[in-house]
């Protein structure tokens, strides 16, 4: 018995059972796991049920859906989050069909009767392509996480510096914003950076404007706004802005005086 050497699983689709059996046996003897199907509908069900399928080997001329239509349908199912490649088998070398197949993203095609050795080389090439695509996708996700981590560390460092060396109260807001100095008591619990974001939010600034003013990203602004709403027990940004408006501060001051 041959030992399996490949991690990818091949969906073998043809409306002729003998061809499906021959191709599956050959590929399994070459180290590939196969999912044999004798119709396009069966192939769709198998593809949905088994996320390990990453290579589709299908006949062009089949009832219900031909190989091109099947690949297009599987592409819609896969979306942007599932990688797979398709190889087409055809008993008729129609140039227009081949052009259409390549145009929709089918990786390769082979005429029938299939040269098994040549087909195996093609499958091995597509396996290498899949590994490279998977690696690039993984690196892309990793880079996004690293960028988010770097931004978070930078914000944390700035907050620590603010705590260690607190600036004058008005240094982070506009000098003429006197009305915001008299804050409701619930806002006293906020960190300096949370307070800065809350005050700018109270002035009606957008996330983009706040990000520019404070030198942070919009995503970080959204995070701070969420924290402020949670800590102050407010339901939305409008309620927060109203609580920090000059009229609200003046009313708070009058109530305190009486």
- What pLDDT tens digit does each residue of the chain (258 aa) get? 445 567 789 999 999 999 999 999 999 999 999 999 999 999 999 999 999 999 999 999 998 899 999 999 999 999 888 899 999 998 876 778 878 888 888 999 899 889 999 999 999 999 999 988 878 776 766 666 667 666 667 666 676 666 666 655 444 444 444 444 566 777 777 888 888 888 888 788 888 888 888 878 888 888 888 888 888 888 887 887 777 765 554 455 454 444
The pTM for the full model equals 0.54
DSSP 56-97: EEEESS-SSS-HHHHHHHHHHHHTTT---EEEEEESS--HHH
Q: Looking at residue 76, what is its pLDDT? A: 95
Q: Looking at residue 88, what is its pLDDT? A: 93
**Nearest one of 23, 98, 22 to 60, comparing CA atoms:** 98
Q: Domain boundaries in the chain?
A: 9-140, 167-257
Q: Looking at residue 21, what is its pLDDT? A: 96
Listed in sequence order, the DSSP H helices in 165-217 are 192-202, 207-214
CATH placement of domain 9-140: 3.40.50.2300
Backbone angles phi, psi at 36, to 5 degrees: -80, 135
Structural fold of domain 167-257: Arc Repressor Mutant, subunit A (1.10.10)
Distance between CA atoms of residues 255 and 102, nearest Å: 75
Q: Looking at residue 172, what is its pLDDT? A: 44
Q: Looking at residue 159, what is its pLDDT? A: 67
Q: Residue 149, CB half-sphere, CA atoms under 13 Å: how many?
A: 6
User: Virtual CA dihedral for 213, 216, 221, 227, nearest 10 degrees?
Assistant: -110
């Amino acid at each position: 018995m041959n030992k399996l050497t490949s991690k990818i699983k091949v969906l073998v689709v043809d409306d002729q059972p003998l061809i499906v059996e021959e191709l599956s046996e050959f590929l399994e003897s070459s180290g590939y796991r196969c999912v044999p199907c004798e119709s396009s509908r069966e192939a769709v069900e198998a593809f949905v049920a088994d996320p390990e399928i990453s290579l589709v080997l299908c006949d062009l001329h089949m009832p219900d859906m031909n190989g091109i239509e099947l690949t297009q349908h599987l592409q819609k199912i896969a979306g942007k989050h599932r990688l797979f490649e398709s190889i087409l088998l055809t008993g008729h070398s129609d140039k227009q069909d081949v052009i259409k197949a390549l145009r929709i993203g089918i990786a390769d095609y082979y005429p029938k009767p299939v040269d098994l050795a040549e087909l195996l080389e093609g499958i091995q090439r597509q396996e290498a392509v899949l590994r490279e695509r998977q690696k690039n996708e993984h690196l892309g996700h990793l880079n996004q996480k690293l960028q988010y981590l770097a931004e978070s560390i930078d914000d944390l460092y700035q907050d620590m510096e603010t705590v260690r060396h607190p600036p004058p109260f008005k240094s982070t807001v506009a000098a003429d914003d006197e009305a915001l100095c008299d804050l409701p008591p619930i806002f006293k619990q906020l960190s300096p950076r949370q307070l800065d974001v809350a005050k700018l939010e109270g002035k009606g600034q957008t996330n983009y404007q706040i990000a520019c003013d404070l030198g942070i990203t919009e995503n970080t602004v959204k995070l701070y706004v969420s924290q402020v709403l949670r800590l102050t027990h407010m339901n939305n940004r409008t309620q927060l802005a109203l609580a920090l408006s000059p009229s609200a501060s003046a009313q708070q001051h009058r109530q305190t005086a009486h």
